Amino acid sequence: MKIINKENVFSILFFLILFIIIYFINFFVGSAIFERTVTNLFIYIILVVGLQVFMGNSGILSFAHIGFMSIGAYSSGLLSMPIKMKGFVLRDLYPILENVAFDPILSILIGGIFTAVIAAILTLPLMRLNDAAAVISSFALLMVIHSIVVGWSAVTNGPRTFFGLPKATTLEIALIFSFLTVIFAFVYKNSKFGLLLRASRDNDIAAESIGANIVYLRWFAIIASAFLAGIAGGLWGHFITSFSPKSFYLKETFLVISMIIIGGSFTVTGAIAGALLVTIGYEFLRWTEKIIKFSDAITFEFIGLTEIVLSITIIIFLITKPKGLFPFKEIGDTINKIFKNN
């Protein structure tokens, strides 16, 4: 069994070329707004591909993913925030953390590991659940994490804005982390763990008969997924430099789930395509909403256009293409087929 087959190599090379093209488009456009959008896109790719690692291979929808993102954002920010800022932002901070100020990139990596450890502790009992029970428990976990973030003011500043982080996430750093995430997702998908987990997704009884420990396979996948969510949270936190608990709750959860539904949760290609399409659409709708708001064409206040359009789009996809744009085949499978035909 090859961990990386020819089709996966084609897929990885395709996304490497795509990412480089997007990077150079930004270089030639030379717009700060465009660069912000592209940087956010690469962070979203990490986040959505991370969700795909668990959801796509296990078949279980997880609402807790954004909660894990918040853990990565807050923990990495706590480690990288300058010492002088900590005394101003977090006045009740524990003495052991007052004089800690690590390099931002190191802090992001530690934040990802810390998120994975928290996920390992919290999720093992939940991995025994299936279907609706598993989905509901993940939503409950999101609520628990959100409540802790809001209530633990000594380290999160409570419901108020958490600010003072160094702006360390550049477009280049986001691109590198995003590409490494894509490589990991393809390697995992074709590994023994990924193959057995997908077998349990399709037929759990058959998978158990060939020795698959479904609970631990799911557990490993959600730990890896949480690590990537934590990395995405750290990168986003060090890009935006200030945020609050509401940045990691229902609206963001809805946005990420819309990406994976539209693209397709069963493939890495689908996760990336969903992140790309929804990010572009989301930015377009936000600007459209602003234009409508400040124009004289509509006399009444019009808000929520972005959420309305995304909701309708998800409904249409669930009816017409329930498995998304890339339901089963990766882009590398198509490229390999083209080469064979020629």
Provide the residue count of the chain.
342
Lowest mean pLDDT among 27-31, 112-116, 273-277: 27-31
Q: What are phi and psi of 162, to 5 degrees?
A: -95, 110
Q: Which of 312, 313, 291, 292 is nearest to 301 (CA)?
A: 292
pLDDT band at 296 (very low <50, low <70, confident <90, very high): low
* Mean pLDDT, all residues of the chain: 91
Q: What is the pLDDT of residues 209-262, one digit of tens each?
A: 888 899 999 999 999 999 999 999 999 999 999 999 999 998 899 999 999 999
| Tokens coding 315 | 């409904």
pLDDT value of residue 340 = 81
For residue 284, pLDDT over 90 is answered with no
Mean pLDDT, residues 155-159: 93
pLDDT of 1 above 70: no
- What pLDDT band is residue 122 in, cutting at 50, 70 and 90? very high
What local confidence, expressed as pLDDT, does residue 219 receive? 97
Please check the confidence at residue 342 and state whether its pLDDT lies above 70.
no
d(CA 11, CA 264): 16
Which structure tokens are listed for 144?
Answer: 């628990």
Q: What average pLDDT score do residues 45-74 get?
A: 96
How confident is the model at residue 300, as a pLDDT? Answer: 57
Is the distance from CB of 246 to CB of 35 less than 8 angstroms?
Answer: no
| Selection from 33, 229, 40, 203 nearest residue 130 by Cα | 203
Segment 173-180 shows an average pLDDT of 97
**Mean pLDDT lowest for which of 47-51, 232-236, 318-322?**
318-322
CATH class of residue range 6-249 = mainly alpha
- Pair 80, 104: CB distance under 8 Å: yes
